[in-house]
Amino acid sequence: MRIHIFYILTFFIPLISFSQDFYSKWDNGFKITSDDGNFKLKFGGRIMYDVAAWSATMHSDSLGNTLTENFNGTEFRRIRFFNSGQVYKNVKYKLQLDFAGGGVSIKDVYIEFVKLPVLGNIKVGHFKEPLRLEALTSSKYITLMERALPIALSPERNVGFMLHRTFLDDKLSFQTGVFRNASSGNDKMANGNRNITSRITYLAMNEDDKLLHIGVGFSNRTNADETYASSTRAENHLGNKLIKVDLDDVSNTNILGTEMAFNIGSCSIQAEYLNTMINRSVDSLNNHTLTGYYTQLSYFITGEKREYKNSLAGFDRVKPNKNFGDGGVGAIELAARYSSLDFSDANGGKLSNITLGVNWHLNPCTRIMLNYVLGSAKDNQDVSDYEKENTFQCRIQIDF
């Protein structure tokens, strides 16, 4: 109950604390701005409700049989509320909480000092590490219901601080930060937990209906437990875990990622490759390399395009040419993606995934998503052993 009261107070105390005139407006979210522009507040959230039905087929020559099981399920994939703002023009903040699953977890909670001399901008708190275009793009704006398989290899939010700035009229972007492994936002025993993550991107083209974004990121990671573990499903969050890796005596982990996005008119192509090098402390001959990649294609048959926000936030909200119910049908987007994850170097198997999708953007805040997902996992010890999942899933989403 205390955190709920704190959350409510955090949202509404700023509304009564202004000592100057301000105005409010709706811009795909409720925004309040002071007359002089020094103070800004925004309130918003998202609801994502998912329904899925899938079948899992397992085959093993050693057993000489094939077993198929059918499943179905529903979940609130995300239930989030946030308050963000600007204070005295050069300080920003954000507080975002998630209530999915019946609990409360923190997502983005940070303070940011902007436009500092020489340094640029400094962000402190709990937020996404600067690695991978798709991971940095908000779940509100990703093209398919789930992020591609390489998300299992890349970190998301941790606690730390990050320096970032842009050059060449915002075409060149640089981000670097030091983080702790603290998904809850707290790392009270910090000894041995240290991640250094950096990323450089270049906006080679951004004119009219053409855009080309390229980038590279690197992260060096250590943890006090000296372990590395990762497991993943096919691109169905309700599905079964199909491959995993669990290692000890790990001295450090290095992640190298490359990214590319190309838009031309209503067509968009996006691809990323990730290489994770796991260094063992006992025997360097037992070092491991895990890899993942995806290629994604989308096309708006109603003429819209994916909107690029910036290097650090990736892609932005889709705005239909005409909203559904307002003289139009909204925006209709077709999408396809192939992704792969290879844990075989650590005896964890391989997983490949095909996802096909249709997105109906009724208006800038509402979207209905339909996905078909085919995931296929193979045991690297015996390639005749496999598990396949066929999934039909739907998401109804509103965000503001």
CA–CA dist 345, 326 (Å, integer): 54
Domain membership of residue 34 (yes or no) is no
pTM greater than 0.85 (yes/no): yes
Q: Is residue 286 part of a domain?
A: yes
24 occurs within a structural domain? no
Neighbours of 156 (CB within 10 A): 15
**Is residue 3 domain-resident?**
no
DSSP lists the bridge partners of residue 57 as 68, 388
The SS3 of residue 16 is helix
Question: 377 lies in a domain?
Answer: yes
Spatial contact of 73 and 238, defined as CB atoms under 8 Å apart = yes
What is the pLDDT at residue 210?
96
Q: Is residue 41 part of a domain?
A: no
Contacts (Cβ under 8 Å, ≥6 apart) of 17:
none
CB 192 within 8 Å of CB 224: yes
Domain that includes residue 226, residue range: 48-76+143-399
pLDDT number for residue 19: 53
DSSP assignment of 88-112 equals TTTEEEEEEEE-GGGS-EEEEEEEE
The CATH number of whichever domain residue 385 belongs to comes to 2.40.160.10
pLDDT tens per residue, the chain (400 residues)? Answer: 344 544 544 544 454 444 557 788 888 888 999 988 899 999 999 999 999 999 999 876 566 678 889 999 999 999 999 999 999 999 999 999 999 988 899 999 999 999 999 999 999 999 999 999 999 999 999 999 999 999 999 888 999 999 999 999 999 999 999 999 876 666 666 667 899 999 999 999 998 889 999 999 999 999 888 999 999 999 999 999 999 999 999 999 999 999 999 999 999 999 999 999 999 987 767 899 999 999 999 999 999 999 999 999 999 999 999 999 998 999 999 999 999 999 999 999 999 999 999 999 999 999 999 999 999 999 866 656 789 999 999 999 999 9
Residue 303 forms part of a structural domain: yes
Q: Can you list the pairs that 85-91 forms with residues at least 24 positions away whose Cβ atoms lie under 8 Å?
A: 85/14, 85/39, 85/40, 85/41, 85/42, 86/38, 86/39, 86/40, 87/38, 87/39, 88/38, 88/39, 89/37, 89/38, 90/114, 90/115
Q: Tell how far CA 215 is from the center of its chain.
A: 16
296, 365, 399, 152: CA torsion to nearest 10: 0
In a domain, 104, yes or no: no
- Predicted local distance difference test score (pLDDT) of residue 5: 44
**What is the pLDDT, as a whole number, of residue 8?**
47
Q: Are strands 250-264 and 210-222 parallel, antiparallel or unpaired?
A: antiparallel
**Structural domain count, the chain:** 1
- Tell me what pLDDT residue 309 has: 95
Query: Looking at residue 22, what is its pLDDT?
Result: 77
* Of residues 160, 186, 187, 185, the one with CA closest to residue 175: 160
Q: Give residue 184's pLDDT.
A: 66
A 10 A CB-CB count for 167 gives: 11
Q: Which residue has the tokens 């491991």?
A: 288
Query: Taking a C-beta distance cutoff of 8 angstroms, is the pair 316, 309 a contact?
Result: yes
pLDDT (0 to 100) of residue 1: 39
